[in-house]
Amino acid sequence: MDTLTPLRHAEGCAIDQAERYIRAAVGPGLAVEVQECYRGFITECLQRGCTRALIVGRARGDAFYHLALRDALRAMAVHGVPGGFRIALVAETPELIAVYDAALLEAERCGIEAKRLHSEVEADLWLGS
């Protein structure tokens, strides 16, 4: 995997630039922290014109805080994503699987190529293909 350069770090949120993609580790955290992390991630993606992105999510307690990803993807699609944009989702806790599947459905509706994968290694391979 790529070496990471920190872009934004806060409680429950680490957004980093890798060589081939932007990566966010989201959660665990309070609802406001998780939501802010997804907003920051989308902002960084759009400002940098990213064509590849990776979200690694962790939940403790209420995984529904992560539905903010679904809303962030919708906002990203409205703004416009670069051609060939791909986003990989890795749920590190079982509670996030259904939430990320909901985000995948929204991405599909918005024309964003997205996939939920089991590990960062799988995500790295998919994003590189």
- Shortest CA distance to 41 belongs to which of 60, 61, 58, 21? 21
CATH of the domain at 41: 3.30.750.24
Q: Which domain holds residue 77?
A: 5-128
Give the model confidence (pLDDT) of 42-92 as tens digits: 999 999 999 999 999 999 878 999 999 999 999 999 999 988 999 999 999
- Reported pTM: 0.94
| Helix boundaries (H) for the chain | 31-48, 68-79, 96-109, 120-128
Residue 2: pLDDT band with limits 50, 70, 90: low
Task: Give the per-residue pLDDT at 104.
Answer: 97
Query: In the predicted model, what is the mean pLDDT of residues 103-116?
Result: 96
Contact 90, 118 (CB under 8 A): yes
**Number of domains observed in the structure of the chain:** 1
Give the model confidence (pLDDT) of 21-52 as tens digits: 999 999 999 999 999 999 999 999 999 999 99
